[in-house]
Amino acid sequence: MSADVSDAQLVHRCRTGEAAAWRELVDRYSRYVYAITTQGFRLREHDAEDVFQEVFTRVYDRLDSLRDDSAVRPWIAQLTRRLCLDRIAAERREQPADELVSPEAEAVLADLDESFAVHEALSRLPAQCREVLDRFFTRDESYRTIGDALHLPPGTIASRISRCLAKLRSELDGRSVAV
């Protein structure tokens, strides 16, 4: 199963009991959930693992309650966030859970959400776009290096990257918004 399968399609297949779809759902969101627990809420490793297990157990048990199949990402994010707060509140019983999220943590969570959205949008781009964007923005390769690797004139790389960024923008604009 590839990234071409939308979230809504994936959720639908999970509901029919397709084991491969469930594995894909966990695979697609595992890093996201783990990042929220460790980077957003800075849970200790064993707490993060507990929350991770609990999140996907609840997703499995409650998938039928999801009203909009395309909104699975914000649903999982909200579920993870709540379980993280419960975990922290259990350790600091005197503090209301809502006060446990610092502005810094909120900023990290917003960044994670944006990063995941970009990652998702990237996965829907043509392979040649993914490669050229990865080489330039992630690996910091020069136009000449990229051109040599892809057998393209270096002078065409910048325009190619611009076109791929425009496609990425379109994918991001078309994404489902949080519920």
Partner 1 sequence: MAGSDYLDLRLGEFLDSLSAPAPTPGGGAVAALTVSLAAGLVTMAARRSVDSWSDAPGVAAQARALLARAGPLAQTDADAWHAALAALEEPRGETELEERLAKAAEVPLAIADTAADVAELAALAAEMGEGTYRGDAAAAAVLAEAGARAAAKLVGLNLTVTADDARMVRARGAAEAARAAAARALDSGP
Q: Which is nearer to partner 1, 166 or 178 (CB)?
A: 166
**DSSP code at position 36:** I
Written as six digits, the tokens of 31 are 């890093």
CB of 144 to partner 1, least distance (A): 7
CA distance 54 to 15: 19
Q: Which is nearer to partner 1, 81 or 135 (CB)?
A: 135
- Least distance to partner 1 from the beta carbon of 140, Å? 6
Which of 158, 170, 178, 179 contacts partner 1 by CB under 8 A?
158
**With binding defined as CB under 8 A, does residue 62 bind partner 1?**
no
- Which range in 9-17, 65-73, 97-105, 153-161 contacts partner 1 by CB under 8 A? 153-161
Exposure string for 95-116, b = 16+ CB within 10 A, e = fewer? eeeeebbeeebeebbeebbeeb
First CA to last CA distance, the chain: 26
* Contact criterion met (CB below 8 Å) for 128 and 117: no
**Number of chain residues interacting with partner 1 (CB under 8 A):** 18
Dihedral angle of Cα 171, 176, 178, 179, to the nearest 10 degrees? 170
Nearest-CA neighbor of 56 among 26, 84, 82?
26
Phi-psi region of 142 (alpha: psi -120 to 50; beta: other; left: phi over 0): beta
Per CB under 8 A, the segment of 16-24, 89-97, 115-123, 165-173 that binds partner 1 is 165-173
| The binder of partner 1 chosen from 60, 78, 123, 155 (CB under 8 A) | 155
How remote is the C-alpha of 128 from its chain's centroid?
A: 21
Binding residues among 93-152 for partner 1 as defined by CB under 8 A: 136-137, 140, 142-145
Part in contact with partner 1 (CB under 8 A); list of ranges 4-12, 31-39, 68-76, 162-170 = 162-170
Which of residues 23, 62, 119, 163 is near partner 1 by CB under 8 A? 163
Q: Which residues contribute to the site for partner 1 (CB under 8 A)?
A: 136-137, 140, 142-145, 154-155, 158-159, 161-166, 169
